[in-house]
Chains A and B, each alone.
Chain A
Amino acid sequence: MIKRRVWQRFVAHLDPVLLMLLGLLLLVSLVVIYSASDGNWFRVLAQMTNILVACAALWIVANMPLHYLMRAALPAYLLGIVLLIAVAFFGEITNGARRWLNIGVTTIQPSELMRIAVPLMMAWYFEKHEAMLTLKNYFVATLLLLLPVALIARQPDLGTAILIAASGFYVLFLAGISWRVILTFLVLIMASMPFAWSTLHDYQRHRIMMLLDPAQDALGRGYHTIQAIIAVGSGGIFGKGYLNGTQAHLDFLPERTTDFIFAVYSEEFGLLGNVVLLSLYLLVIARGFVITANASTYFTRLMAGSITLTFFTYAFVNMGMVSGILPVVGVPLPLISYGGTSMVTLLLGFGMLMSIHTHKKLVQT
């Protein structure tokens, strides 16, 4: 009797539908990482640890009433900005980019914090000015977005900058920014393309060029893209079978457990596997939309919508990059790729979704 009550309280703020879908995707992650790491159980155990830590974060956030989250928005955002500025001045350079900050105990990557802090801040800002939203508010919100995006793009970390820009844009869009402004913006972006090109780093330009014609540099930078496409294409309809991917197991694929894990999955499970994966993602997104549509406050609607759409963006950009329709930007496949930070960030997001969904119910009853 007591046991059951404890259990009920434990799961009260979890969404069973979302939880089941996430569980399936995380199971796929472990299965594919086992293959991608050539049967390395330590890799699998490490990913399990990542998942457990991230699940704890999910449970905590899911049980957190929303006003806590709202209160955290401004400090988290400001902290993030301060850290990003600190990175710009004192950051450690690895691989030609200044992304990490040494805080004595460990090194941190402030841009990761901003993945959640930026939409949180923007949603909070719109909530505050909900009563009378004017063009000025949209302008301020845009500035709130562009400041961290610019700092991150300067590091340079184009992938993260674009994804944060996307998550902020989703907030703006859902907050009802007028179509006219969106169109004007699009035109402005188009017009500034040549200028933007000139500010890009060589390796970033190269990645974009590679997308247009990877064969141009088949043994150089295009190599990864080409090998990934070969892996996907050679998988065929039914795949080569679990643990039988030749591209993966003979080292032709780069970063097999992280950014290019989709190529491993796709080679071994084929088109059918891809359809299953796309379906799982679509179901997660659909559930996210249901939660968003039913969210009770302006803040939670914006937040839930942004989290869901950002999740989709991650999945789309990664699969698009591996299958050769997008340039190679360092974006992991959400919930599948090996890695602790992105796992925690993602499940934190889903924790918020669950919190939004369950706390609303509690308020109503």
Chain B
Amino acid sequence: MTVPPTEPTPADPGPDRLPAELLAGVTALARSRSSPAAERGATSDLTIDQSLLLHAIGWEPVELVCGVSVVSVPYGIWSWGSGEISLASAAHNAAVRNAASRLGQEAATAGGHGVVGVSVEVTIHSRHIAVELTGSAVRPSRAKGAAKAVFVSDLSARDFVLLEQAGWEPVGLAFGASFVYAPRRTMGTAMRQKGQNVELTNFTEAMYSAREAAMARMQTSAIVMGGKGIVDVTVREGPMSFASHAVGFTAWGTAVRLAGKGHRYIRPQLVLPLDDARILFSAESLRGD
């Protein structure tokens, strides 16, 4: 009779590295009041997870960068009319173009090759439109010299890493906006529809019209930048708070193109979490419900 082999014991995980890292960190800090680094430090609004992810694919944050533009909208254009409120659409698109250009310039000045995690704030007032962009300029860790073209992207660092792994690259922020009048109903139509459950086709059609124009502009801006598609599109639509008969549709996303010859399949690994998300006990169950 032979002795059955013993169950393999789990490998000894060894001493935890974290306390050692902490001691090394505080000791280094106590040794010198100022940074021993010769070069300028980086500034960024990325989380530590996002910074680590960037480092994993050979990129690093460089500088926190901003781009802002405020463009005037002429008085009285929101009140009456039909079709597109073209001056408002033009003002919006100009504000985005200016802000994105300034963001890119700041990134290029800082030595960045692109900007990731751009927060997009668009404020539409009746007399002016403001666009504020803030993000972190990034570059390949071993980059030497300036980039030929700086991309601007609202993708998070996580999405940027995933995009890179799939063989694609961002080329810029694609934007489109359109504002359209919802024509007022005739007196007769308004009276007939009073108290009825009916579709207000003037609003539906205005929304479709605004949607089509804005989406077309967004796609055109992507094509102009050399993009083959747009990912992570954000859409905002609805009536203007200061003009109930005007509807607006804005859409933006990151224009992307293939970095190499073709798409790379990521082949994600399937995982089965062992934690049970169901509630195992709740006080109500004591009543037998």
Asked whether A and B interact, the reply is no
